[in-house]
Amino acid sequence: MTMIDDLFSLRGRTALVTGGSSGIGYAMAEAIACAGARTVLLARREGPLTEAVQRIAAKGGEAHAVSVDITDRQQLADAAEQAVKLVGEIDILVNCAANMHRPPLGELSTTQWDELFAANVDAPFLLGQRFAPRMVERGWGRIINVGSQQTISAFGDSGGYGAAKAAVAGLTRSQAEAWSPHGVCVNTLIPGFVLTPLTAETAKDPERVEALAKRHMVARNGVPEDFQGAALFLASDACRFVTGQMLFVDGGFSVH
């Protein structure tokens, strides 16, 4: 087990996961915390945050919670400092929080556009600016940005959401170029269609859900637990020669 520990153990590390109270964000936070990282969950709703912390503790991980609206820059900056007070400077940053306005593009308001970019692009950028230079100073860090199928293709009224998620991949490449020479690996994780609170509206249509399942090569839609292995890989020493990439955890959706 020594090699497994050397590659994947996160003991002694610290982590911050936005959107960590539910869905993919929670699953990733659980994996990272249970691998040994002292983990802070950022999300808006206090009730789900409290429940998430308790669930992680029950599995032997250490987690803390900070309630924040990530689209508010001052709140986000304050939350970042609260996280540092709780666990110390952050080694592993996971940007999973998102919002999803998806009207037809012609009906998309400028307010919705701004909200989409604030959550999906600005927050990962701002948190990266806060934490990555300190990672560079320590010579080790990991940033995991979460994209979408809309990062690479149009899909069901992509609109502003598609533009924002495409920007996430560009941000990842820029962050990797800036910081990877100093031990900070930055990658984008691309899900398929995953049954989470964020996709609950789509999931109300059984025929659409079935059609999406058939498009995945594994013949099913994703569930949050499918992302725990990828999160552990991207957060660990096993990822030391992987940076600037898009890792597709999508059951073959993107190539089918």
Mean pLDDT calculated for residue range 37-56? 97
Which active-site residues does the annotation give?
161
> How large is the C-alpha radius of gyration of the chain?
17
Q: Is residue 254 part of a domain?
A: no
Q: Is residue 255 part of a domain?
A: no
Mean pLDDT calculated for residue range 29-39? 98
pLDDT (tens digit, 9 = 90+) per residue, 116-175? 999 999 999 999 999 999 999 999 999 999 999 999 998 777 789 999 999 999 999 999
Mean pLDDT calculated for residue range 61-77? 98
The model's confidence at residue 101, banded by pLDDT at 50, 70 and 90, is confident
Mean pLDDT calculated for residue range 200-213? 87
Residue 77 in this model has a pLDDT that exceeds 90: yes
Q: 102 near 156, Cβ under 8 Å?
A: yes
The model's confidence at residue 231, banded by pLDDT at 50, 70 and 90, is very high
Q: 144 near 37, Cβ under 8 Å?
A: no
Residue 129 sits in a domain whose CATH number is 3.40.50.720
Q: Over the chain, what is the mean pLDDT?
A: 95
pLDDT (tens digit, 9 = 90+) per residue, 189-204? 999 999 988 777 777 8
Distance CA 59, CA 54 (A): 9
Q: Is residue 256 part of a domain?
A: no
Distance CA 148, CA 162 (A): 8
pTM of the predicted protein model: 0.96
* Alpha-carbon separation of residue 116 from 9, 54, 127 (angstroms): 35, 30, 16
188 three-class SS: strand
Q: Is residue 79 part of a domain?
A: yes
Distance CA 118, CA 71 (A): 5
Element (H, E) at 134: helix 123-138
**What is the residue range of 150's domain?**
2-249
Sign of torsion, CA 171 172 175 177?
negative
What is the model's pLDDT at position 1?
66
Q: How many domains are there within the chain?
A: 1
What is the model's pLDDT at position 110?
96
